[in-house]
Structure 1
């Protein structure tokens, strides 16, 4: 058992070296907006247009996505670390003071540099997570946006290209 825990810690530390973009996944539970910070997001297919998100099975966001059937991936830009941290913790109202709009049945963050709205196509088991495959229903981005990155347990940004 100890060996497995050591391996899990090693795996987590190893995977922290994979730089990823930072997103906030949003959905609704009835009229209540629900959201969480995530880095396990990936484009999946161009035909049909699909992406995937991986959500910890212990989180209420997982249940809310399954019940609502729609979610959004809000890609955060550099300088959005406070927003990422806000949605990364458990608290009663993560949306307090956060500007959103709802044109597609889920809250979209005004400060996101990109957003993708998806209907759940599949929910697949993935160990202690659920892999939600989403059919893209809407997407938009800002051409001047630069991403917030997550690496080795901290936030960062891209260097300006030469």
Structure 2
């Protein structure tokens, strides 16, 4: 193992070896849909039902979730890399051409293989991120669907 002075680079490279599912976090800012791609999503509690998402403090989605008080985690399927890239991009209308349904006051992606709608239960500081603890209001999934994965800076899927 080679030590370097830049632990940030080492940490990012090390954590990129942790395969994660890919989700799009959606909410609203007034009547405007807002969203971003995320991999820092995790189940937190069964009693009460809670999950957490970690969002960079400099992103507008973070502000929108804090103000709206509700968000959705849209789990992407193996055929949805285009959605992951779309919502990761900096562009004015990430929802152009993307089919959604308004579910419990937030946009939910029709192509998601699972979705969880949450109310913000807590906002916790996490360095340069905010940790949102979401109280689950609603969830749905397609049992036969396979997830999109993120590993070492690229997208992939599970092998059969």
TM-score of the superposition, structure 2-length normalised? Answer: 0.97
Query: Deviation at 1:65?
Result: 0.2
1:2-54 CA distance string (max 9 Å, x none): 93xx1000000000000000000000000000000000000000000000000
**Residue 45 (str. 1) matches residue 49 (str. 2):** no
Figure out how many residues of one structure are paired with residues of the other and give that number.
157
1:109-144 CA distance string (max 9 Å, x none): 000000000000000000000000000000000011
Q: Distance in 2 between matches of 1:145 and 1:127?
A: 34
Superposed, 1:1-162 pairs within 5 Å as 3=5, 6-160=6-160
TM-score of the superposition, structure 1-length normalised? Answer: 0.96
Secondary structure of the corresponding residue to residue 146 of structure 1: coil
Moved over 4 A (4+): none
Unaligned runs of 5+ in 1: none
What is the root-mean-square deviation in Å for CA atoms of aligned residues?
0.8
Query: Deviation at 1:103?
Result: 2.3
1:96-115 CA distance string (max 9 Å, x none): 00000002100000000000
Secondary structure of the corresponding residue to residue 44 of structure 1: strand
